[in-house]
Amino acid sequence: MCGIVGVVGKSARDIILNGLTNLEYRGYDSAGIYLNDQNGHEYLTKAVGRISNLKEKLTPDEQGLVGIGHTRWATHGKPTVDNAHPHFDETKRFYLVHNGVIENYAELKKKYLQGVKFHSDTDTEAVVQLVGKIARDKNLDGFSAFKEALKLVKGSYAFLLIDNTEPDHVFIAKNKSPMMLGIGDGFNIIASDAISVLDQTKTFVDLQDGDVGDITKDSYTIETVDGKKVDREPHVLNIDPNAASKGAYEFYMLKEIDEQPGVMRHISQDYLDENNGTKVDPKIVDAVAQSDRIYILAAGTSYHAGLVGKQLFEKYSDVPVEVGLASEFGYHFPKLSKKPFFIFLSQSGETADSRVVLKQVNERHLPSLTMTNVEGSTLSREATYTMLLEAGPEIAVASTKAYTAQIAVQAVLAKAVGEKKGVQEAKDFNLKHQLALAAEGMQQLVDGKEHIDDLAKKYLADTRNAFYIGRGIDYAVALEGALKLKEVSYIQTEGFAAAELKHGTIALIEKDTPVIALINDPATADLTRGNIREVEARGANVMVFAGKKFAQEGDDVVLPDIDYCLSPLLTIIPAQLLAYYASKNKGLDVDKPRNLAKSVTVE
Ligand code: AGP
């Protein structure tokens, strides 16, 4: 999960640095930039840490009309200057940046690069050294040597390569890692995603796996590694550049939490008509309606949204649902039903663990749908069908509005399929009204954020651990609340089925252990109150987030009324805010937590 930017035909330095800053959410443990002024001067600068450290190291004369840059999330080799990209071959002719993982780099080094002097521990360096060696041994131009090398490389990659003997070209190659080619006026630009360079152009070319390209300031050629020309047409992306900016917010995470009422309204407008009729591609509805089991595959927060989706589809579409962790499912396929339908939930649409499953689903010629927030993303393009979350760019590493959007869009599909099958609950499901309630309830909860900040200060300032507990659908929310808190505040937090705690884990409860209890489930509300008493008896500090129907005097947050299966849309809001304030109050970088990246494109 690294970020890459390349420019040819325009003063490249600031464009690359700005693009990398916009891509820092993808990885930020080291960074580097190569610039060439196409007049015999070239510059290579690298730094550990954030892009700001790289900017400080650059001198004013380091400029160029062609350049490549990289912000790294380390996979092979510690975050050091030597391991930072761009990497170069031993003759310092070729410079390469890479996002992905080269699976056979050790084999390449052993088989083709004996005696070559390496300067890093990275897998990437093996590729650029291979390009250099092939170019020298076979007396080839840069692009030809690059294509020859790619025939030997196995793994995922988005490569940008510069040959300093031809500094008016950037050579590119894509396989499994995201890359977009932007078409400018008198220049061209390549980046990991379109949003990061929207200030330069809105015209892009969707690159596919297996594409290799030769980019100049006013042309682009896309081929296969065997040199077969491939036609890739440019198109205009209508994304609002302002949507991807922080505005008055200190952190994207709070901005994106606050945007959730608007996202609910947007989804309602996009997917429901004024009479509560669903607006979903009939081909998708028919395909799901014909299935005898839905398999929802995802990772992290999206997996937690899938757990809520299970309740929605089973109630409103009357179809059994299995929710799986993509990383497990991908290598241990269960015995499938006779007519399975696969739904992939992925904010980024680039998660490698999910792509492994989709590849096998496609190989088995089974129908699939990707629900994603990124138009044109890999999971979106490779699935049979796609539905967009319409949540607007989500920049903070911790996913918030994409989670609630995934729940809302699953509810739309569940209703549409149920109506197709004549399920009475679906016909009675006034989703238009429920999403309006969700928007209003969310607004009320985000307006009460100061209270959540007080809870964070009171209960989470000095703790090393915490628990979320809930039953029924609240158990799914407890898992998501726990993930939010731990990933941005580094407080070891577990989400637990409330009754399960007493089967061993309650041994961890001691004086002042924070426990957040969620109560929306009519069938078990009283039982959860009993579980609260059990942990209080052992010294826990309990915060209660309860639906209005179940709220009692002293509860910390009362959640507005909403359909039970949609209650996670509201319960998660105080949990998101609690995580935000716990992190902010500790002085952490809420948007870019340590060790994480926004799009996990490695397995
Ligand atoms: C969410 O807060 C996490 N950053 C992470 O778990 C994320 O949900 C997961 O990596 C899946 O990403 P995706 O939705 O883009 O597939």
* Per-residue pLDDT tens digits for 104-140: 999 999 999 999 999 999 999 999 999 999 999 999 9
Between strands 94-99 and 188-191, the pairing is unpaired
Q: What CA–CA distances, in Å, run from 164 to 37, 87, 515, 552?
A: 10, 13, 59, 71
Mutate to test the pocket of ligand 1, among 251, 252, 301, 485 (most ligand atoms within 8 A of CB): 301
Task: Summarize the confidence of residues 311-320 as an average pLDDT.
Answer: 98
Q: Is the CB of 600 under 6 A from ligand 1?
A: yes
Q: Alpha carbon of 526 to those of 110, 475, 509, 517: distances in Å?
A: 65, 15, 21, 12
Task: Compute the distance from residue 343 Cα to the ligand 1 centre, in Å.
Answer: 16
pLDDT in tens, 522-548: 999 999 999 999 999 999 999 999 999
CA of 12 to the centre of ligand 1 (A): 32
Note the pLDDT tens digit of each residue in 420-456. Answer: 999 999 999 999 999 999 999 999 999 999 999 999 9
**CATH 3.60.20.10 residue spans of the chain:** 3-242
Average pLDDT over residues 574-587: 98
Going by the DSSP 8-state scheme, the letter that residue 77 receives in this structure is S
The answer to whether the CB of 299 is under 6 A from ligand 1 is: yes
pLDDT value of residue 241:
66
* Comma-separated ranges of CATH 3.40.50.10490 domains in the chain: 249-438, 448-603
A 10 A CB-CB count for 541 gives 18
Tokens of 13: 């330095």
**374 ligand 1 Cβ < 6 A:** no
Average pLDDT over all residues of the chain = 94
Q: Is the CB of 348 under 6 A from ligand 1?
A: yes
Mean pLDDT value across residues 361-383: 94
As a whole-number percent, the residues of the chain with pLDDT over 70 amount to 99
Say if ligand 1 is within 6 A of residue 397 CB.
yes
Q: Considering the entire predicted model, what is its pTM? A: 0.78
- pLDDT attached to residue 375: 82
The CATH architecture annotation of domain 448-603 reads 3-Layer(aba) Sandwich (3.40)
400 CA → ligand 1 middle, Å = 10
Query: Nearest C-alpha to atom 13 of ligand 1 is from which residue?
Result: 346
Distance 391 CA to ligand 1 centre (A): 15
CB atoms within 10 A of CB 420: 18
For 563-591, what is the mean pLDDT? 97
Q: Which CATH superfamily is domain 249-438 in?
A: Glucose-6-phosphate isomerase like protein; domain 1 (3.40.50.10490)
Token pair of 116, please? 């070559």
More confident residue, 77 or 197: 197
- At 377 the pLDDT is 87
Beta-carbon contacts of residue 187 (< 8 Å; ≥ 6 apart): 7, 8, 9, 10, 200, 217
Ligand 1 within 6 A of 411 CB?
Answer: no
Give the residue among 384, 373, 282 at the shortest CA–CA distance from 343: 384
Cα–Cα distance, 215 to 517 (Å, whole number): 56
Q: Give the pLDDT confidence score for residue 213 in this predicted structure.
A: 97
Instruction: Report which of 451, 95, 420, 110 is spatially closest to residue 282, judged by C-alpha positions.
Output: 420
Active site residues: 2, 598
Residues with Cβ within 8 Å of residue 459, at least 6 apart in sequence: 514, 541, 543
| Residue of 394, 484, 596, 600 to mutate, ligand 1, most atoms within 8 A of C-beta | 600
- Is the Cβ atom of 179 under 6 angstroms away from ligand 1? no
Q: What is the pLDDT of residue 189?
A: 98
Report which ligand 1 atom has the smallest distance to the Cα of 351: 16
Q: How confident is the model at residue 243 (pLDDT cuts 50, 70, 90)?
A: low
**460: CB partners within 8 A, 6+ apart:** 466, 485, 489, 491, 514, 578, 581, 582, 585
CA of 595 to the centre of ligand 1 (A): 13
Closest alpha carbon to 483 in 475, 498, 495:
495
- How far does the chain reach from its first CA to its final CA, in angstroms? 10
Average pLDDT over every residue of 500-526: 95
Average pLDDT over residues 284-295: 98
Nearest residue to 1 via CA among 236, 299, 201, 218: 299
Q: Is 398 in the pocket of ligand 1 (CB under 6 A)?
A: yes
Question: Do the Cβ atoms of 22 and 195 come closer than 8 Å?
Answer: yes
516 - beta bridge partners?
468, 543
CATH code for 3-242?
Answer: 3.60.20.10
pLDDT value of residue 370: 98
